[in-house]
Amino acid sequence: MEKAQKTFDYLLRDFQPNMDYQDTWLTNEDTGTKTLERYDVELPNELKIGYPFIVFFMFQTIKGYANLGMFEKVLWEIPIFYKGTQFVLAHKKFGFSISANEKNDNFQSLGLEAMALIHKAIPHAESLVDPIMHEKVNQGNVTIDSKYTKMRNRYLFFREKALNGDIGDEKTFIELRQNSGISNFADGDSFAAHINLMSRYRSSKTYYLLAMIDAYFSLLEHISILLLFVKEVNLKEVKLENFMGMTWKAKLRIILQYKTNRSASRYLEVLDEIKEQIRNPAAHGDYFKNGGSLYVHIEGIGAIPFTLTKAKQNFKFSDTSSSFMTGENIVKHFDDFDSYLETSNTGFGMMYIKRDLPVAFDKESVAACRRRTKTEKSTKKYIDDTLQEINRSMDMDW
């Protein structure tokens, strides 16, 4: 950290704060109108700033330079001197800009020189800001975007393929067989080809279903983080950075207060069975936990299951057998849990999340959200107000 600070200071040694900055206005003698005297430095692609916030961190957060604040279509402006020449660094509606206050002969070359040094200092600034960022996260001073619709659509895509897709019906299997040239079983080769095609047909349906399960649990991970603002969760006890690293089940246990919520416990138990017995083996080499995939060699008998007769699986997955967990049953469990989330204490939170609105976790924002999501009517009004605020912010209409 000390090395990063020294390098950062060295690279920016020719920059100075402009604490007494005053705007200069030019008057049009014909119309009497005034315009701000600013001359933009034209930046080549390699010197453009893709993330203006890092420049703000460099000069305001780390070095303590003055920020002129928000203006129409401007988020912030920081006045500086570079080698004695006045410049203004700014984040405007259309991105970052650096402009001079005087149109002298060398403002363009000096501006480019300053930007080259700023670019060199960026990696060192990121190192210096990193501890601040972690502290802000654990204080809850963050916002997380909702990608509910995108993730839900991914789940629904694989769900449709698994249950009703172009590989999951008998008609398509017949078409596949015809297109492969298998029309009869007069010889062994045709019969073997038929068996192979049937296996591919059944396997494809299973592949889609496994993808569906993965997509659904990814959606649950996303929802569980966004639902942290529900009133039952004590954010002082939950550090967001740690929470995001928990398993899906641990997150939902906190959100749903499972210790005192029997309904939540039952739902989570079923979801856990699906995760442990279907999804996890498929994701980890098709092996079950606790020796469920092991067969022990016993003289006189052969290889027998390590778990003997006490297999821990309450159900297994199968395309065909009604005594096993089918794709339709899995989907029903998912639908039941979705319905639970939308009708229990998380219901109004789900109304908000499903609109793909960002969630802020600072103390004031959480308090406002909890206060305004107590009824369906108040939640809808809160959603409308949030949308308007986002639109104004994007357009920099302060």
| Residue 397 pLDDT exceeds 80 | no
Say how far apart CA 342 and CA 350 lie, in whole Å: 6
What is the pLDDT, as a whole number, of residue 207? 84
Q: What is the pLDDT of residues 30-55, one digit of tens each?
A: 777 777 778 899 999 999 999 999 99
pLDDT at 310: 56
Average pLDDT in the 120-125 region? 94
- Token readout for 369 is 């959200």
Q: CA-to-CA distance for 395 and 74, rounded, in angstroms?
A: 9
Backbone angles phi, psi at 304, to 5 degrees: -120, 160
Contact assessment for residue 25 and residue 34, using Cβ atoms and an 8 Å cutoff? yes
Tens-digit pLDDT profile for residues 217-254: 999 999 999 998 877 787 778 778 788 889 889 999 88
- Of the listed ranges 37-46, 249-258, 274-283, 330-339, the least confidently predicted one is 274-283
Where residue 286 falls (left for φ over 0; alpha for ψ -120 to 50; beta otherwise) is left
Contacts for 347 with CB less than 8 Å, ≥ 6 apart: 341
190-212 burial, b for 16+ CB within 10 Å, e for fewer? eeebbeebeeebbebbbebbbbb
Q: Which residue has the tokens 């003698």?
A: 29
CA dist 149 and 290 (Å) reads 37
- pTM (two decimals): 0.70
Residue 102 pLDDT exceeds 70: yes
Give the model's pLDDT for residue 186. Answer: 47
Instruction: Calculate mean pLDDT across residues 75-102.
Output: 92
| CA pair distance 242, 244, nearest whole angstrom | 5
Q: Which amino acid is at 69?
A: G
Residues 6+ apart with CB under 8 A from 352: 359, 369, 373, 379, 382, 383, 386
d(CA 40, CA 90): 11
The answer to whether residue 173 scores a pLDDT higher than 90 is: no
CA 118 to chain centre: 29
Alpha carbons 363 and 334: distance in angstroms, whole number: 33
Instruction: Give the number of other CB atoms < 10 A from CB of residue 113.
Output: 14
What is the CA angle 171-174-180, rounded to 5? 140
- List residues bridging with 87 in a β-sheet: 80, 100
CB 354 within 8 A of CB 148: yes
| Tokens 């769900």 sit on residue | 159
How many angstroms separate the Cα of 212 from the Cα of each of 219, 226, 331?
A: 11, 21, 9
Tokens of 147: 């990608």
Percent of the chain scoring above 70 in pLDDT: 79
pLDDT number for residue 181: 53
